[in-house]
Amino acid sequence: MLKTFKIGGVHPAENKFSADKAIEKLALPKSVFIPVAQHIGAPAQALVKKGDQVKVGQIIAQAGGFVSANIHSSVSGTVKKVDLATDASGYPKQGIFIDVEGDEWEDTIITDDKLIEKFDTDSKTIIDKINAAGIVGLGGATFPTHVKLMPPPGSKAEMLIINGVECEPYLTADHRLMLEKGQEILVGTRILMAALGVNKAYIGIENNKKDAIGRLKELTASESSIEIVPLKVKYPQGGEKQLIKAVTGREVPSGALPIAVGAVVSNVGTAFAVYEAVQKNKPLIERVVTVTGKSVSKPSNFMVRVGTPVNELIDAAGGLPEDTGKVISGGPMMGKAIASLDVPVTKGTSGILIMPDQDAKRKTSQNCIRCGRCVTVCPMGLEPFLLMTVSERQIWDRAESDCIMDCIECGSCSFTCPADRPLLDYIRLGKGKVGQIIRSRKK
Amino acid sequence: MTIVYTIVSLSAIGTLAAVILYFVAQKFKVYEDPRIDDVEKALPGANCGGCGFAGCRAFAESCVKASDLSDLFCPVGGNDCMTGVADILGMEAVVQTPKVAVVRCNGGCDQRPKTNQFDGASSCAVAASLYSGETGCQYGCLSHGDCVTACDFDAIHMNPETGLPEVIDDKCVACGACVDACPKNLIELRKKAPKDRKIYVSCRNEDKGGVAKKSCSVACIGCSKCFKVCPFDAITMANNLAYIDADKCKLCRKCVVECPTNAIVELNFPPRKPKTDLPPKPAAKTVEKAAAPKESATDSQTENNETK
């Protein structure tokens, strides 16, 4: 009996077309747009101006606060301008435009692929390196990693959980990374363990990635501190709280952070980025992005420089199919449709999903039939039908007392609703409003 | 005999209960100013919240408590209603100019082409929480009609041809429900002029001229021409956008003629005489030209401000 989380969850069709496609390096784009806000927290402050020459890995924007992250140039060339442009959030955001000229790297970065296992185990040194490299959670939430590694006073990390679940359908970026960069991920895991001062790490992987489980088990055969945990396939197991519940059986209390139960969760992509930052001095300038979809001629996994426009990825995957209905940044469950193909790949882009017209269209919403399926599938034990109604009617105090802030926006409720109600649309809106109210109360 | 006992005992219990209730009611009596009821009767009873209170009763209570009525106004009832309230309370009513809601976006389907399609929940608030909108203009109307849903007076409707909301001036009571409902802050309560005449900049696009013009042919490009031509200093320029102060505007219509993109709207005016009728503005030479005059315009604007 495989482990999993207890309440809720759904089983969307997996459609992992690109699971057997090795990670390819994408050709350098002609120009990039690197937004200064690619993470949760304060936007970074641009350090370059029009006409400056930059190298690959050079810092171009400084973290704008404690919860923020540095931004580095992913290409070498000339800064064209610092201006607004639309990113995957759908709104114009400040960012740096760079025209690519050659591929000249900063001298401090080690560019070869040789595995380096030894590292300095001093926690502060590691965290400083991670902070300088601008590493954020690559699972999609983009929370700055150095903040996660410094638990608030009074709480103590007991274990590290590495998230290799990749429960989103279609996406295979983490899967390929585990297969191809297993050793690097394990070194990254050990670095993170040293930074946190813990001596136990779990790597949670869903059972539909048997090859990745096998590979990592083989690599950790002689190591007792890192345990590979195969998990039953169920969405949204990649959610931080669901993963902790699945692996350890502990439940994060409402409104609390995972550190409350002694756990710190990081994505496998983050572990790999940590390895590169600490061992190779390479900042976070590229990531694996899955480009996939039912009618995409060549579903692929690309190693992409941050700032590359999405249309270059689509071209490399065989071009935009004729029956395209939507292009989604991220997976089909939590991803967001993008309004233009010029938006850049950012640190949080895990996939580009091209949905055919007939799948992409949302059905007309009908009246709630009180079937309670949304309540059954909600992994947080909430009542989505009720939260939607109170958000629609703007009864914010009721929304707050019904724990709207505990929603993880996984979309299981909207996915399962037989009346096709836009449950998550309204809950997300309510969550934003209630969040504002709570923040204004604290001031 | 049984029936007599029954009647007598029940009457005795009834009388006793009545006496107890009387004394209890006296003991726990809450004094309420009788004028509150009178004032509430004088109010329209719409409970719309346009006065800023939770309903007509709450407004009546604060009217009775207030030492003067200068901060209190019922937009639905207007000056007549407030005079009635003032009479009841023996105070003086403060006469206010009636207001009306105005939608400050003119980008209909023809002027502001769609660049993508939104198929989420049909709500402006939801759409605005997700992205900038179906057109290139991130400031413009989202056309899902949150303002129409918010209106209790049936005074605002979507025009299916333009996809923009339109206010029926006679029905609008300026309660401000639509102003709060619009996530793009497009609706403004403006002073009512005689014959419902209106002149306003029907745009809130703060992009630079070229960008604004590219996404919408009737966008304000911030060229400051209206600012220069206005004889009454009613127009201010900020963030590439002109704004007409309804208190200062004398409805002379000079700015309307001057505007190169027809972003300034005049409503309910008689048709212009042929001699003042200018030839229609050429729409072609826009995008490149739009940005150029702007910088000089901003300069002259700052100069003007300094000389003032």
Closest Cα in chain A, distance from residue B121 (Å): 6
Residue A214 has which token pair? Answer: 């096998």
Residue B159 has which token pair? Answer: 């025009």
Candidate from B125, B129, B131 with C-beta closest to A339: B131
Residue B46, pLDDT score: 87
Q: Decide if pLDDT at B305 tops 80.
A: no
pLDDT, average across residues B115-130: 90
What kind of fold does domain B193-308 have according to CATH? Answer: Alpha-Beta Plaits (3.30.70)
Residue A359, pLDDT score: 87
- Collapse the DSSP code of A39 into the 3-class scheme (helix H, G, I; strand E, B; otherwise coil) and give the result: coil
Strands A351-356 and A226-231: unpaired
Convert the pLDDT of each residue in B52-90 to its tens digit. Answer: 898 999 999 999 988 888 888 998 888 889 999 999 988
pLDDT, average across residues B36-63: 90
What kind of fold does domain B97-192 have according to CATH? Answer: Alpha-Beta Plaits (3.30.70)
Q: Distance between CA A330 and CA A315 in Å, rounded?
A: 18
Closest Cα in chain A, distance from residue B125 (Å): 7
| Closest CA relative to residue A245, chosen from B63, A232, B161, A178 | A232
Q: Do A339 and B130 touch (CB under 8 A)?
A: no
> What is the full DSSP assignment across B198-254?
EEEE-----S-HHHHHHH-TT------HHHHH-TTS-EEEETTEEEE-TTT-----H
| Closest CA relative to residue B220, chosen from B278, B140, B304 | B140
Candidate from B119, B121, B130 with C-beta closest to A90: B130
Q: Do B131 and A428 touch (CB under 8 A)?
A: no
- Collapse the DSSP code of A290 into the 3-class scheme (helix H, G, I; strand E, B; otherwise coil) and give the result: strand
With respect to CATH, is domain A29-109+283-359 assigned 3.30.360.10? no
Convert the pLDDT of each residue in B139-164 to its tens digit. Answer: 999 999 999 999 999 999 999 999 99
Q: Decide if pLDDT at B286 tops 80.
A: no
Strands ordered across the beta sheet of A59-62: A45-46, A59-62, A71-72
Residue B279, pLDDT score: 52
Convert the pLDDT of each residue in B81-120 to its tens digit. Answer: 999 999 998 888 888 888 999 999 999 888 999 888 888 8
This complex has an ipTM of: 0.86
Closest Cα in chain A, distance from residue B128 (Å): 9
* Average pLDDT of the residues of chain B: 86
- Collapse the DSSP code of B144 into the 3-class scheme (helix H, G, I; strand E, B; otherwise coil) and give the result: coil
Cα A208 to Cα A55, A231, A398, B7, B205, distances in angstroms: 40, 9, 40, 83, 50
Q: Write down the architecture of domain B36-89 according to CATH.
A: Orthogonal Bundle (1.10)
CATH 3.40.50.11540: which residues of chain A? Answer: 126-280
A423: nearest CA partner in chain B = B121
Residue B68, pLDDT score: 84
Q: Do A340 and B116 touch (CB under 8 A)?
A: yes
Q: Decide if pLDDT at B287 tops 70.
A: no
Break chain B into its structural domains and give their ranges: 36-89, 97-192, 193-308
Residue B278, pLDDT score: 52
| Closest CA relative to residue A57, chosen from A284, A308, A275 | A284
Q: Using omega within 30 degrees of 0 as the cis cutoff, is the peptide bond preceding A236 cis?
A: yes
Q: Distance between CA A182 and CA A167 in Å, rounded?
A: 19
B133: nearest CA partner in chain A = A90
If you compute the radius of gyration of chain B from its CA atoms, what whole number of angstroms results? Answer: 28
Residue B217, pLDDT score: 93
Strands ordered across the beta sheet of A300-305: A23-25, A300-305, A286-292, A351-356, A324-329, A336-337
Q: Do A92 and B126 touch (CB under 8 A)?
A: no
The residue type of A441 is R
Q: Do A422 and B130 touch (CB under 8 A)?
A: no
Position of tokens 């965290």? Answer: A127
With respect to CATH, is domain A126-280 assigned 3.40.50.11540? yes
The residues of chain A scoring below 70 in pLDDT are none
Candidate from A90, A91, A429 with C-beta closest to B126: A429
Closest Cα in chain A, distance from residue B118 (Å): 9
Q: Distance between CA A362 and CA A254 in Å, rounded?
A: 32
B67: which residues sit within 8 A by CB, 6+ positions away? none
Q: Decide if pLDDT at B294 tops 60.
A: no
Under a CB-based contact definition with an 8 Å cutoff, are residues A197 and A203 in contact? no
Under a CB-based contact definition with an 8 Å cutoff, are residues A70 and A48 in contact? no
For testing contact with chain B, the best of A340, A368, A426, A433 (most B CBs within 10 A) = A426
Chain A: residues touching B (Cβ < 8 Å): 86, 89-92, 336, 339-340, 361-362, 365, 392, 422, 425-426, 428-429, 432
| Closest CA relative to residue A331, chosen from A56, A12, A116 | A12
Q: Do B121 and A422 touch (CB under 8 A)?
A: yes
Q: Do A426 and B121 touch (CB under 8 A)?
A: yes
User: How many CB contacts within 8 angstroms connect chain A with chain B?
Assistant: 41
Q: Decide if pLDDT at B176 tops 80.
A: yes
Closest Cα in chain A, distance from residue B140 (Å): 13
Cα B214 to Cα B261, B285, B287, distances in angstroms: 12, 12, 7
> A340: which chain B residues are within 8 Å (Cβ-Cβ)?
115-116
> B116: which chain A residues are within 8 Å (Cβ-Cβ)?
339-340
| Closest CA relative to residue B121, chosen from A362, A430, A367, A372 | A362
Q: What is the DSSP letter of B67?
A: S
Residue B272, pLDDT score: 79
CATH 3.10.20.600: which residues of chain A? Answer: 29-109+283-359
Q: Do B123 and A339 touch (CB under 8 A)?
A: no
> B138: which chain A residues are within 8 Å (Cβ-Cβ)?
91-92
| Burial of residue B11 (number of CB atoms within 10 Å: 0-12, 13-18, 19+) | exposed
> B140: which chain A residues are within 8 Å (Cβ-Cβ)?
none
Q: What is the dihedral of CA A354, A359, A360, A364, to 10 degrees?
A: -170
- Collapse the DSSP code of A225 into the 3-class scheme (helix H, G, I; strand E, B; otherwise coil) and give the result: coil
> A92: which chain B residues are within 8 Å (Cβ-Cβ)?
132, 138
Q: What's CA B254's distance to the chain center, in Å?
A: 25
Same CATH topology for B97-192 and B193-308: the answer is yes
Convert the pLDDT of each residue in B209-259 to its tens digit. Answer: 888 999 999 999 999 999 999 999 999 999 999 999 998 999 999 999 999
Q: Distance between CA A18 and CA A112 in Å, rounded?
A: 26
Q: Do A362 and B120 touch (CB under 8 A)?
A: yes
